[in-house]
Amino acid sequence: MSPPPSSPSPESPAAQQARDWVLRLASGTMGEQELQAFEQWLALPGHRHAFECERMVWRSLGARPQTSVVVQSRRRTPRRRLAVLAAVAMFACAMFAPELLLHMRADYRAIDGIRQVSLPDGSTAVLDAGAAIAVHYNDEVRRIELLRGRAWFEVTPQRAVPFRITVGDGVVEDVSTAFVVSRDEDRVDTAVEQGRVRVAARPDQGWMYLQAGQAAGWSKGGVAARGDALPLDRVAAWRRGELLLENAPVAQVLAELGRYRPGHVFVRGDLSALPPINAALRLDQPEQALDALAAGSGLSVTRLPLGIAIVQAARTELPARPWPVR
């Protein structure tokens, strides 16, 4: 592999601006106007070169699980280079403080893929991409704290020691089962694949019992309510590498696929007028799934460095080709 080009002076405006763009893109919080401004900035002479150099420095800090590349530059003294790296690292720590806190609390995390975990009692947890759990075991209880995302559990029976999933004040307790629990901002949902569970949204509520094919959910501070019955093959289908979609809004599907990619997916414009999706996509091939979604829904996908994808409607008319239904 040929060595990267020498980077511009860290004092140059282009380098400083590139460093700022890298951090803002990696944060995943940029809006449509900022994305347009970035594309315009990138098209100016010398800016793409500056961006690529700063992107290599960012990777060398280990900010994403990718191969580290060290940028060699004759224009920087070792002391100045260390100072620049330290400044970028401090800025990144401040920006990603919630992620660092989650990392400190979690015993197991899944980044952009599905991860299977063997728990101390022989039970199994399967974490969806982006999920995180903390494990608290003692002689009286086996407790898993779902910190983020969704996870499927197959529990080894131990009648004397309950198995519980806690999400804030809510509790999902195993009776004899395999089940899934998901946490999405202020919403918690659970569904049973085998056996039974009992759930309570708050400690002062009574238990609600669920059996195979049944689901329940609640919002923060709310009351647990039963959901629609589910076919058993749709309970945590993601753990088998499938994304099963039934009348799903396009924006929701993009958010789902975004968890399985190493970079962020930015949506430009309003996609609510596009028809809902009925399809089955493979989660172990997120790029092909994204392209298939774009082709079937009339979208265009622009891919940028750091794995970033910008998605927008390619045309105003609705796509004539229907989605294949599984």
In terms of domains, do 245 and 219 share one?
no
In terms of domains, do 78 and 109 share one?
no
Question: Is residue 140 a part of any domain in this protein?
Answer: yes
In the chain, the number of structural domains is 3
Per-residue pLDDT at 153: 97
> Can you tell me which residue has the tokens 């996870």?
151
Per-residue pLDDT at 319: 47
Quote the domain boundaries for residue 20: 13-95
Measured CA to CA in angstroms, residue 129 lies from 57, 158, 189, 239, 318 at distances of 26, 29, 17, 10, 31
Question: Is residue 6 a part of any domain in this protein?
Answer: no
In terms of domains, do 111 and 75 share one?
no
In terms of domains, do 85 and 109 share one?
no
The residue ranges of DSSP E strands in the chain, in sequence order, are 108-109, 115-118, 124-127, 132-137, 142-154, 163-167, 170-184, 187-200, 208-211, 215-219, 225-226, 242-248, 265-268, 277-282, 299-303, 309-313
CATH of the domain at 110: 2.60.120.1440
Bridging pattern class, strands 108-109 and 215-219:
unpaired
Instruction: Give SS3 for 309.
Output: strand
10-residue averages of pLDDT along the chain (326 residues):
47 77 70 77 82 67 37 46 58 57 84 92 94 93 94 92 94 91 92 95 91 94 91 90 90 91 88 90 91 91 87 65 44
Question: Is residue 264 a part of any domain in this protein?
Answer: yes
Per-residue pLDDT at 315: 61
Task: Assess contact for 60 and 70: CB atoms under 8 A.
Answer: yes
In terms of domains, do 165 and 182 share one?
yes
Domain end residue (candidates: 181, 203, 232): 232
Per-residue pLDDT at 10: 46
In terms of domains, do 176 and 122 share one?
yes
Domain end residue (candidates: 204, 232, 260): 232
Query: DSSP per residue over 245-256, as a string?
Result: EEEE-HHHHHHH
> Can you tell me which residue has the tokens 């420095």?
57
d(CA 42, CA 63): 22
In terms of domains, do 201 and 258 share one?
no
Task: Note the pTM of the prediction, 2 decimals.
Answer: 0.68
CATH of the domain at 253: 3.55.50.30
Per-residue pLDDT at 35: 76
Per-residue pLDDT at 307: 85
